[in-house]
């Protein structure tokens, strides 16, 4: 009995111990389960935070990429701005009986503005200018030969026109295209041809029938000097330093009048040198019509004749008071102007019923390229200009056809702006002025 009791007690104690141990293990398991749940929650929290961080990193990466793109765009814009051609191209065209000024961006050759002068000019000026475009009443003329060489960054365009009641120069604001001032330069009709000094101080006008050269102070807008000559002056090409002007003087088939190339000092009008083609009484006519003064080689000048398709190359010795004829060339039609490329040593000669001859610089003056544009693009041409960087050439179809734009690397047409006529085309400021004056 005692043994049974002892065994029972032992079993009870053992069971109690097992129960206690089980209870402890259950508690441990419960604690571990709680810890696991807590760890799972922490893992989920970390996963959430990681996801948030990933999203934040992705957002930051996108922002950095966007900013990099913005920086690149800004750099591209700055690079383009650095390469951008300064200045604009202005062309006076006629459509039907309406005159317009086209403003062309030489960076794109797009027309950025087309100005109807009917709505910007004063009524009195428009009436006169529009009449002279159609040469009414006779004699009347709206001039092709506005200043086209060494055009500085002046705030106005210069219009020359004449009719029976007088000859005039009008200053037109480049921003508003309204007339700023009109100066009467002569009491009667006389053809006029203008040149402007590179410093922008003086406008020189050759007055053909009046047989005189007029010097205008552009700051005061008044005539400061008139030089009378013994025949008919027909152009005014300033020297690169602005101290002189080269003028062709013609007889217009009058045997009593001489023909010569003339250099005058600016602004005094003092004669410095002349070269005779014909003296009074002689009847071999050249009819000097246009001049150009080289800026690459300022000791040379070019003069064109209208009696035959003729061009002369001169060497100036102004200190010695001499002009020497060193070369003569001819063309299939009358050459009406020459102009040098501001970016490359070449001369473009505008030939009336042909197009363009591209030549090397004087004194060699050999033909580099012949570009025939008449009659495929224009009926006839008298004038043209290079873009400020020399990449393009703008040819005015004065005889009809509008404006032709050529790539000067190949001398191929890249654009044709059609119109009934292009009266003139100029670069403001011009390429040679930018290259040699705005350094």
Give residue 293's domain range: 90-436
Q: Domain check: are 9 and 108 in the same one?
A: no
Q: Tell me which of 83, 98, 118 is where a domain ends.
A: 83
Q: Which of 304, 305, 168, 159 is nearest to 223 (CA)?
A: 168
Q: Domain check: are 74 and 111 in the same one?
A: no
Q: Domain check: are 302 and 175 in the same one?
A: yes
Q: Report the number of distinct structural domains present in the chain.
A: 2
Q: Domain check: are 200 and 349 in the same one?
A: yes
Q: Which of 335, 334, 196, 324 is nearest to 267 (CA)?
A: 196
Q: Tell me which of 53, 83, 113 is where a domain ends.
A: 83
Looking only at the bridges linking them, the beta strands covering 222-228 and 212-217 are: antiparallel
Q: Is the pLDDT of residue 4 over 90?
A: no
What is the rounded distance in angstroms from the CA atom of residue 149 to the CA atom of residue 296?
13
The tokens for 325 are 């004829």
Strands lying side by side in the sheet with 141-142: 141-142, 156-163, 166-173, 179-186
Instruction: Name the more confident of 221 and 45.
Output: 221
Q: Domain check: are 56 and 95 in the same one?
A: no
* pLDDT above 70: percentage of residues in the chain: 91
Q: Provide the pLDDT for residue 6.
A: 75
CB 160 within 8 A of CB 148: no
Q: Is the pLDDT of residue 67 over 70?
A: no
CA distances from 84 to 177, 217, 345, 379 (A): 24, 32, 22, 33
pTM of the model: 0.82
Q: Provide the pLDDT for residue 291.
A: 98
The pLDDT of 78-107, averaged and rounded, is: 85
Question: 78: pLDDT confidence band, cut at 50, 70 and 90?
Answer: very low
Q: Domain check: are 225 and 171 in the same one?
A: yes
Q: Domain check: are 42 and 97 in the same one?
A: no
Q: Which of 128, 238, 219, 136 is nearest to 180 (CA)?
A: 219
- pLDDT single digits (tens) 350-394: 999 999 999 999 999 999 999 999 999 999 999 999 999 999 999
What is the rounded distance in angstroms from the CA atom of residue 275 to the CA atom of residue 28?
123
- pLDDT single digits (tens) 229-241: 999 999 999 999 9
The tokens for 109 are 């050759």
CB 297 within 8 A of CB 315: no
Q: Domain check: are 406 and 261 in the same one?
A: yes
Q: Provide the pLDDT for residue 295.
A: 94
Q: Domain check: are 21 and 68 in the same one?
A: yes
Q: Provide the pLDDT for residue 81.
A: 45
Q: Is the pLDDT of residue 308 over 60?
A: yes
Question: 189: pLDDT confidence band, cut at 50, 70 and 90?
Answer: very high
Q: Provide the pLDDT for residue 64.
A: 80
Partnered with residue 246 across adjacent β-strands are 237, 263
**What CATH number is associated with residue 295?**
2.130.10.10
HEC sequence for the chain: CHHHHHHHHHHHHHHHHHHHHHHHHHHHHHHHHHHHHHHHHHHHHHHHHHHHHHHHHHHHHHHHHHHHHHHHHHHHHHHHHHHCCCCEEEEEEEECCEEEEEEEECCCCEEEEEEEHHHCCCHHHHHHHHHHHCCCCCCCEECCCCCCCCCCCCCEEEEEEEECCEEEEEEEECCCCCEEEEEEEECCCCCEEEEECCCCCEEEEEECCCCEEEEEECCCCEEEEEEECCCEECCCEECCCCCEEEEEEECCCCCCCCEEEEEEECCCCCEEEEEEEECCCCCCCCCEEEEEECCCCCCEEEEEECCCCEEEEEEEECCCCEEEEEEEEECCCCEEEEEECCCCCCEEEEECCCEEEEECCCCCCCEEEEEECCCCCCCCCCEEEECCCCCEEEEEECCCCEEEEEECCCCEEEEEECCCEEEEEEEECCHHHHHHCCC
Q: Tell me which of 83, 98, 128 is where a domain ends.
A: 83
Q: Which of 84, 67, 61, 90 is nearest to 396 (CA)?
A: 90
Mean pLDDT of the chain: 92
Q: Domain check: are 36 and 172 in the same one?
A: no
CB 346 within 8 A of CB 360: yes
Q: Domain check: are 146 and 188 in the same one?
A: yes
CA distances from 71 to 66, 68, 74, 173 (A): 9, 5, 5, 38
- pLDDT single digits (tens) 131-179: 999 999 999 999 999 999 999 999 999 999 999 999 999 999 999 999 9
Q: Domain check: are 291 and 158 in the same one?
A: yes
Q: Provide the pLDDT for residue 15.
A: 67
Radius of gyration of the chain (CA): 41
Partnered with residue 357 across adjacent β-strands are 349, 370
């Amino acid at each position: 009995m005692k043994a049974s009791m002892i065994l029972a007690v032992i079993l009870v104690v053992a069971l109690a111990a097992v129960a206690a141990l089980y209870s402890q293990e259950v508690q441990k398991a419960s604690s571990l389960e709680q810890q696991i749940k807590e760890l799972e929650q922490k893992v989920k929290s970390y996963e959430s935070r990681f996801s948030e961080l990933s999203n934040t990193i992705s957002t930051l990466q996108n922002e950095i990429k966007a900013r990099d793109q913005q920086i690149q765009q800004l750099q591209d814009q700055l690079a383009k701005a650095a390469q951008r051609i300064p200045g604009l191209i202005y062309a006076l065209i006629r459509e039907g009986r309406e005159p317009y000024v086209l403003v062309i961006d030489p960076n794109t050759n797009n027309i950025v503005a087309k100005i109807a002068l009917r709505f910007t000019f004063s009524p009195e000026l428009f009436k006169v200018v529009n009449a002279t475009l159609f040469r009414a009443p006779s004699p009347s003329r709206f001039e092709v030969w506005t200043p086209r060489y060494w055009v500085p960054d002046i705030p106005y365009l210069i219009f020359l026109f004449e009719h029976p009641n007088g000859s005039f120069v009008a200053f037109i604001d480049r921003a508003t295209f309204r007339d700023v001032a009109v100066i009467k330069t002569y009491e009667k009709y006389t053809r006029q041809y203008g040149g402007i000094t590179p410093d922008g101080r003086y406008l020189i006008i050759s007055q053909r029938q009046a047989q005189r050269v007029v010097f205008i102070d552009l700051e005061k807008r008044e005539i400061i000097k008139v030089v009378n000559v013994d025949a008919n002056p027909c152009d005014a090409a300033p020297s690169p330093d602005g101290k002189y002007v080269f003028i062709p003087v013609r007889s217009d088939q009058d045997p009593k009048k001489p023909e010569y190339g003339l250099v005058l000092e600016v602004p005094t009008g003092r004669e410095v040198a002349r070269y005779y083609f014909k003296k009074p009484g002689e009847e071999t006519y050249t009819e000097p019509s246009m001049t150009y003064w080289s800026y690459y080689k300022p000791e040379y000048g070019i003069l064109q004749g209208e009696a035959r398709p003729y061009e002369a190359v001169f060497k100036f010795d102004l200190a010695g008071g001499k002009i020497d004829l060193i070369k003569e060339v001819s063309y299939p039609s009358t050459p009406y102007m020459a102009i040098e490329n501001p970016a490359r040593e070449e001369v473009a000669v505008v030939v009336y019923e042909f197009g363009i001859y591209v030549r090397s610089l004087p004194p060699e003056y050999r033909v580099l390229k012949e570009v025939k544009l008449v009659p495929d693009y224009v009926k006839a041409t008298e004038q043209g200009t290079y873009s400020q960087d020399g990449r393009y050439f703008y040819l005015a179809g004065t005889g009809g056809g509008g404006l032709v734009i050529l790539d000067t690397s190949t001398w191929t047409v890249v654009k044709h702006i059609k119109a009934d006529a292009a009266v003139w085309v100029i670069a403001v400021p011009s390429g040679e002025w930018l290259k040699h004056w705005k350094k």
